[in-house]
């Protein structure tokens, strides 16, 4: 617990989450892809893609920059909304990847709070196709959430949904370190 918000780690498919909002690990095109992106568009249905096209045309004609976040409805998903964010592609760690990854989490949290959403679920952004080492990414993800919750009390729950047992165990170890003194 940080303040009154609960941070939890679960193993599963993020498209099954009942949260107010789930976060998509998107690419700058917002036109869908594989992994989390593919699952969300498949289960959420065409409405999400249609809204993404409108967002691209109206706000991000050149594509959504890494670290930024936008919101659409959840379509057929249990979650009412989807926040689409773009994590950094891992290029060895000397291209501000850690700042960009932190921005993706922080901007998603800010957007959720701005829409008065209280339960948010994240996948392990950037650790799939984008190749970010999960041992590093998990610590950035959890410390960014911790810092945000220390200043912001309008969230009730932040859930990390890990797709494999290995990813869950890695996040658990990172959480033991990041939340050691809370």
Residues that are catalytic? 37
How near is the Cβ of 16 to ligand APR at its closest, in Å? 8
Angstrom CA distances, 12 to 109, 143, 161, 174, stand at 21, 22, 6, 18
Asked if 69 interacts with ligand APR (CB under 6 A), we say no
Name which position in 2, 5, 9, 14 contacts ligand APR (CB under 6 A): 14
Calculate the alpha carbon distances from 95 to 5, 67, 100 in Å: 32, 13, 9
Among 66, 108, 127, 170, binds ligand APR (CB under 6 A): 127
Query: What six digits make up the tokens of 69?
Result: 């976040």
Determine if residue 171 is left, alpha or beta; phi over 0 gives left, psi from -120 to 50 gives alpha, anything else beta: alpha
Q: What value, to the nearest 5°, has the Cα angle with vertex 85 and ends 84 and 86?
A: 135
Among 35-43, 73-81, 109-117, 149-157, the segment contacting ligand APR (CB under 6 A): 35-43
Pick one of 105, 148, 163, 171: the residue that binds ligand APR (CB under 6 A). 163
Tell me how far apart the alpha carbons of residues 136 and 124 are, in angstroms, rounded to a whole number: 11
- Judge whether 81 and 73 are in contact, CB under 8 Å: yes
Q: What's the min distance (Å) between Cβ of 4 and ligand APR?
A: 26
If binding is defined by CB under 6 A, does position 39 make contact with ligand APR?
A: yes
Structure-token pair, residue 159: 């859930």
In the bound state with ligand APR, the residue whose beta carbon lies nearer, of 2 and 100, is 100
- Interface with ligand APR includes 67 (CB under 6 A)? no
Quick one: how far is CA 144 from the chain centroid? 12
Binding residue count for ligand APR, defined by CB under 6 A: 25
**Binding stretches for ligand APR (CB under 6 A):** 13-15, 25-27, 33-39, 87, 123-130, 161, 163, 167
């Amino acid at each position: 617990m940080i303040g009154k918000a609960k941070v939890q780690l679960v193993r599963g498919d993020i498209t099954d989450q009942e949260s107010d909002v789930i976060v998509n690990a998107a690419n700058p095109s917002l036109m869908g892809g594989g992994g989390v992106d593919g699952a969300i568009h498949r289960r959420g249905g065409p409405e999400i893609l249609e809204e993404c096209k409108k967002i691209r045309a109206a706000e991000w004609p050149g594509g959504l920059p890494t670290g930024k976040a936008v919101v659409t409805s959840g379509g057929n998903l249990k979650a009412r909304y989807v926040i689409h964010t773009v994590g950094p592609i891992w290029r060895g760690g000397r291209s501000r990847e850690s700042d960009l990854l932190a921005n993706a989490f922080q901007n998603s949290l800010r957007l959720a709070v701005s829409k008065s959403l209280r339960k948010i679920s994240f996948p392990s952004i950037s650790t799939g196709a984008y190749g970010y080492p999960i041992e590093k990414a998990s610590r950035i993800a959890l410390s960014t959430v911790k810092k945000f919750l220390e200043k912001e009390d309008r969230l009730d729950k932040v859930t990390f949904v890990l797709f494999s047992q290995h990813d869950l165990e890695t996040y658990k170890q990172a959480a033991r370190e990041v939340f050691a003194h809370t």
